[in-house]
Chain A
Amino acid sequence: MKALYRIFLLSALPLMWSCANMDYDISKGIDNEYTLFTEQVSIPIADIGPISPKQLLGDTDLGSTLGDLLKESEDGFLVVEKEETFYSNAIFLIYMGALDPTQPLDLNVDDFKGYPGASTETPSDLGLTPALQEFSLFAVNPLTEGISVSGKVTLSTLPSESLDNTPVPADSGDYEFYHTELDGESIIDVCSLENMVLHLPASLLEKDPLSGFSSISLGYRYKAHLAFSNDFPAQIPIPVNDLDLPIGQYRVKEVLLSTDVSNEIPITFVLDSVDVMVKETDEQGNEKTVVCDDVSITPGLTIASGCSGAPVVSPLAISIKAKNGTIPDIAGFQLNLSVKAPTGVGDRRMNMNQSIRFNNIRATVSGGITVQGL
C-alpha cells in the first residue's frame, strides 16, 4: 500500500512543479519597515477648552498673584478699586461743638483732593487701561433722622458737578449719594471735593442718645474695569521644555496642525515665531538643547480678540516642516508670543471668565509616516 502512495506522490511531484523566482526568496525574512500614508492623512485630535484665566489660576488668589494691583469683581471683571474716607467725625463731638444743638446745623467739610486712579499706572504698564470707571461718594449716617450734603465735585478735567442738599437717609451704614460712570474717558486721576457742607438736623442726640458714640463719615469709592488698549510692551517668550517627542523614528516630513480658535478674551495674540529645540551632544559629550535650523514653523499666526458672549473665531494653521530630510526628535519649543490690543468694536473689559477655545484641532501629515513593524 505504501508503494502505491509513493507512486501517487511521485506522479504528482512533477505536475506540481512551478518555477521558483529567487528574487522573491523570503526565507531570510521580509523587511519590516512600513511607510504609511505617503500622500496625506488627516487625523482629528481634540477640542480643547474653554480655557479661562480663572481656570488657569485655579484656586490661586488673583490679588496675591498680581501684587494686589488688580482685583476680580464679583462678576469676574478685572478691576482697580480704591476707597477713601475724607471726612469722619463723632456725633458726640459734633453735638458738643454746636453753638445751639437745638437748631439745624450746617457743618463745613474741609476741601479734599483725592487720587483714585493713581493705582492704574502699573496696570497701564501691562497695557491695561480703564474701560469703564465708576466713581461714587458715600456717607455713613447713624442718626435716626436724615441728613443732606451740598458741595462741588470735580473729577480730573471733567466739568464740575454741584450737590445741593442731596439727601442721605437716616440710619445709613453706607449710602451712595453720588454716582457717576465714565466709559472711554481717561483715568480719573484726581477728584476734588470743594465747599462740601453736611446739613444736620436739630437736636442730634435727643431721639437716640446712644448714636453719639457713632460717627458721620464721607468718602469716595472708585472702581475701574480694565481693558487692553495698547500692545503689550514686549514679546513674551514661552519655553515649552522637556517634551522629548520621539518623532524622528517616524521620518515625518511635514505636519500641519490646524484649529479654529474661538476667543472671548479681548486680546489679540500673535505668535511671532516658534523655534524647534533639539538635543545635541557636543564634542565633550555634553548634551545640550539647541535651536534646530532644519525645521521651519509658520510664524505670524494671529488669534483675533473677542469679547464676553461674542467670541471671534480665527482659523489657525501651524506648519511644521523639515527643510531637509525629516523632522527630528523634538526636545521642546520656544514660542515668542505678542499680546496686541483688541481689534474691532465691542466690550473690551477683561473678565476672568472669558475663555479661549481650540476647536477641531487636527493634524495633517504629508509625505508618510514610517514605522518599524506593524
Chain B
Amino acid sequence: MNNFQFIDSMWGLLILVSLSTYLWRAGGVLIATRIEPRGKLAQWFTCIAYGMLAGLISRIMLMPIGILAETPLIDRLAALAIGFAVFFAMKRRLLPGTLISTTIFLVLTTLRANGII
C-alpha cells in the first residue's frame, strides 16, 4: 500500500465515522420536530439523556479505560467525596467542588508516584 492510499483510507474512515455520529444528532432533530416541545415525550427523552450521561460518567469514575485505570479507585472516590463536601458547603457552586476534587486527586497521585503513600 502506498502512502496516498493510506492517507485516503484514514480520511475516508473519518468521514464514515463522522457521518455515523451525525446520524444520531439528525435523528434527534427529526423526532424533536414531531413532538410537543414541553410535552411528556420531550421530558421522557431528557430523562433518558440524563440517565445515559450519568451512566457514562459513573462508569468512567468506577471502571475507567486508559491511564485513569492505573490510579487506585480509592483516590478517585476520596477526591470526589471531599469535592462534594465543598460543593454543598459552598451553596452548590461548580468551580470550588471541581477544583478541590482535582487538586486532591493530583496531590494523591503525586504522592503515590513519589512513593510517599
**Do they bind each other?**
no
A interface list, Cβ under 8 A from B: none
